[in-house]
Amino acid sequence: MAKKHYSIGLWNMKTLFHCSVVMFLVGGLATLVFYRNNNQVAGNVNDVKVTLITKTSTTPANENENMNTDTNRIVSHHQRRLKIPPPSLSLTDTCDLFSGRWVHDNKSHYPLYKEDECPYLNADLACLTYGRKDSKYQQWRWQPHGCDFPRFDGKAIVERLKGKRLLFVGDSVNRNQWDSMMCMLHSSIPGKKKLNMGGLNHTLYSFRSIDYNISIDYYWAPMLVESNGDDPSNHRLDHRTIRINSIEKHARHWVDADILVFNTYLWWRLPIIKFLKSPGSLLGGPNQVYDEVNNVRAYKKVLEIWSKWVHSHIDPAKTKLFFMGLTATHSRAADWGGKKQGTCYKETEPVMDDQFWESGTDPKMLQILEASLNKLKAKGVNVQLMNITQLTQCRKDAHPTVHKKIWHPLTDAQKRNPERTSDCTHWCLPGVPDIWNELLLAHIFPVTETASLYKQR
């Protein structure tokens, strides 16, 4: 009897083992089938092929109950692999938005606005109005490698800017970006709006939404500290003189901003910067006592002064801080294989080499900027670098050149040589600065804050 019970127990154990193996295999196959079917319906969250449509889906109502209604309203005309971060992560945490390439796309949503529909557009940037014949420069989109950023949604951004002050501080390229931001948002802001261009001795330009209490401002401070360029319409271009420790003159007007966007670079490209030694000396006045300093060393010193001010005056828990990278100035056509004495004049196509670097952009300056921001971050103040430097290198086609308002009559020599009088520093609008602002807004309002309104491009 004992043997009989032992034999039965052994058989039961063998049976149980074989049944377990079979159940494991069946369960595994069922799981694989489930996930395969599930992926066919919903797509992989992190790597999804999106079919983009141009009208509201006509899927029956009972099926719509199990679908994200935003997906049914995606509007665009191109298809590609998109990496969308999970809800717990910001897009800017998972994607380098500044590493990518330019793609011509005349079927997309670019331009974001029309030149003649923006009443605030600076005449220096209104290229079509002042004679440019081609408009292809408006139709290029920036495509980051391996990921994407949210399509610009003016109404959603306006809702998030309610009660806030967004302030751009720096030189005329930052003003270029401010003009772009106004043009991008003005049609989405309902109610009364006001533009003031003459505040604080013409250094403060303010665009205000009365009903929404939104301020989008620009403050002219091309060298951040006090300089002989502090008058935006009357300054010397042949030399740079600064009062190195005098930042408070300007900075006291920045402290109440909710979002601060700085830049400074173009005014540091002369090889020598003069540091005033006497605190009472007039900037640009006679009998000045000054030290002559190498421009790279001077740039580093001013960023140290600026960093100290940020660390002592700005609460990063209340104010979001950004610093725009260096921007290209396409004044030497030989850089991209053009004429020896040529410039960006009559250029209509970008450089298609993603690694192109024009000779007017000093990488040492960018390294100094990155090091300064890293030191601030180590002290607990995060200033996000908007590294648009490589992004701008290829866009030799996107400058105003001669297609802008001429404020002073041209000389005969200038008329004979339009290439040398072309503006290859600033950018036509709509155009490249709109991309800067799309990337900036993606950092100001990460995906985690706008998940419910996320729109694929």
Selected catalytic residue, list 179, 397, 426, 434: 426
Residue 172 among the catalytic residues:
yes
426 labelled catalytic: yes
With helix as H, strand as E and coil as C, how does the chain read?
A: CHHHHHHHHHHHHHHHHHHHHHHHHHHHHHHHHHHHHHHHHHCCCCCEECCCECCCCCCCHHHHCCCCCCHHHCECCCCCEECCCCCCCCHHHHCCCCCEEEEECCCCCCCCCCHHHCCCCCCCCCCCCCCCCCCHHHCEEEEECCCCCCCCCHHHHHHHHCCCEEEEEECHHHHHHHHHHHHHHHHHCCCCEEEEEEHHHHCEEEEEECCCCEEEEEEECCCCCEECCCCCCCCCCCCCEEECCCCHHHHCCCCCCCEEEECCCHHHCCCEEEEECCCCCCCCCCCCCEEEEEHHHHHHHHHHHHHHHHHHHCCCCCCEEEEECCCCCCCCHHHHCCCCCCCCCCCCCCCCCCCCCCCCCCHHHHHHHHHHHHHHHHCCCCEEEECCHHHHHCCCCCCCECCCCCCCCCCHHHHHCHHHHCECCCCCCCCHHHHHHHHHHHHHCCHHHCHHHCCCC
Catalytic residue, candidates 172, 206, 209, 422: 172
The question of whether 423 is a catalytic residue gets the answer yes
Marked catalytic residue, from 124, 179, 217, 423: 423
Residues identified as active-site = 172, 423, 426
